[in-house]
Amino acid sequence: MAWSLICPASRGIGFELTRQLLLTTTIPVVATARKDITSVKKNILSDLKDVDPSRLIVLEVDVTDEATISAAAQKAASLFPPSSNHHLHLSFCIPGILHPEKSPSQLTHSHLLQTFAINTIAPMLLSKHFSPFLPKKSTSLPSPSSPGLPPHATWLNMSARVGSTTDNRLGGWYSYRASKAGVNSFTKSLDLYLAARAGEKAMAIAYHPGTVKTGLSREFWGNVEEGKLFEVGFAVEKMLEVMRGVGIEGRGRCWDWKGGEVLP
């Protein structure tokens, strides 16, 4: 049985992504939240009348606390024992925080640690505990006609265009840029590991969603070019479209919401 993971899912992109996976696929969805998991599950399922509630499992995870990640992975293992019949097919690691420094004088030790803990270290620790659920070379994958699923398993790490050193023409946002550059570097290494372990049955990509109307970007909504501030529903639609459309030849790279590559 294939299943999916969204971390975190209590609001914003993760919340809507969880709802869309419940609507467009038939596989179980494991979502995470830091607290109030009963309320989070109720909110996600609101108005999804044709969705079997048992397909949604919400687990408590604080991405800055490895013990909670480990406990969630143990729970997932009890629900979906890693074997030729169970595997993680879609994984979305999308935690994020932004401290928009304009000059080095605005950098603080606490903000730097927080930014890297959430944006960069969290995806690494999630992969430590959840990548073992991804398919191996011997795993039987869903048929190509399975609703809403790409033929290969995909691990998606949330990145950003500002994580591109090549594209950095403005500077600023020191901690955020560096943390997302780290995500891109880690994603490449994770993908090389998956290629050796799973061949063409599993891959990792990084993803730039554009500027989305969430709490992360609220401070900058007024500065975004017309037509470039995306509603969450549109952003999730494009994310799923790109994730399903990137072939195995696109593995290990960062892709944007238009399906274009974001260079390192």
The residues spanned by each domain of the chain are 2-262
Give the phi and the psi of residue 193 in degrees, each rounded to 5: -65, -45
Residue 5: predicted pLDDT: 99
Q: Which strands sit side by side in the sheet containing 202-208, from one edge to the other?
A: 56-60, 29-33, 2-7, 87-93, 153-158, 202-208, 254-256, 261-262
Q: How far apart are CA 140 and CA 142, in angstroms?
A: 7
Average model confidence (pLDDT) across the chain: 94
Q: How far apart are CA 128 and CA 72, in angstroms?
A: 12
Q: Of 226, 219, 155, 232, nearest to 190 (Cα)?
A: 155
Residue 142: predicted pLDDT: 78
| DSSP line for 96-146 | ------SSGGG--HHHHHHHHIIIIIHHHHHHHHHGGGS--TTPPPPPTTS
Q: Which band of pLDDT confidence, cut at 50, 70 and 90, is reported for residue 83?
A: confident
Whether 249 has a pLDDT exceeding 80, the answer reads yes
Residue 13: predicted pLDDT: 97
Residue 222: predicted pLDDT: 62
Matching residue, tokens 């990509």: 205
Q: What is the mean pLDDT of residues 20-28?
A: 96
Q: Which band of pLDDT confidence, cut at 50, 70 and 90, is reported for residue 255?
A: very high
pLDDT digits (tens, 9 = 90+) for 198-219: 999 999 999 999 988 886 766 7
Residue 76: predicted pLDDT: 98
Whether 172 has a pLDDT exceeding 90, the answer reads yes
Portion of the chain with pLDDT greater than 70, in percent = 95
Portion of the chain with pLDDT greater than 90, in percent = 86
Q: What is the mean pLDDT of residues 36-58?
A: 97
Which residue(s) pair with 90 in the sheet? 4, 154
Q: Which architecture characterizes domain 2-262 according to CATH?
A: 3-Layer(aba) Sandwich (3.40)
**Angle (nearest 5°) at CA 107 between 92 and 173:** 50
pLDDT digits (tens, 9 = 90+) for 97-134: 999 999 999 999 999 999 999 999 999 999 999 999 99
Q: How far apart are CA 176 and CA 119, in angstroms?
A: 8
Across the chain, how many H-helices and E-strands are there?
A: 7, 10
Q: Is the pTM here over 0.85, yes or no?
A: yes
Q: Which band of pLDDT confidence, cut at 50, 70 and 90, is reported for residue 159?
A: very high
Residue 84: predicted pLDDT: 64
Whether 85 has a pLDDT exceeding 90, the answer reads no
Q: Which band of pLDDT confidence, cut at 50, 70 and 90, is reported for residue 148?
A: confident
Are the beta carbons of 238 and 246 closer than 8 angstroms?
A: no
Which pairing describes strands 29-33 and 56-60: parallel, antiparallel, or unpaired? Answer: parallel
Residue 221: predicted pLDDT: 62
Q: What is the mean pLDDT of residues 37-48?
A: 97
Whether 195 has a pLDDT exceeding 90, the answer reads yes
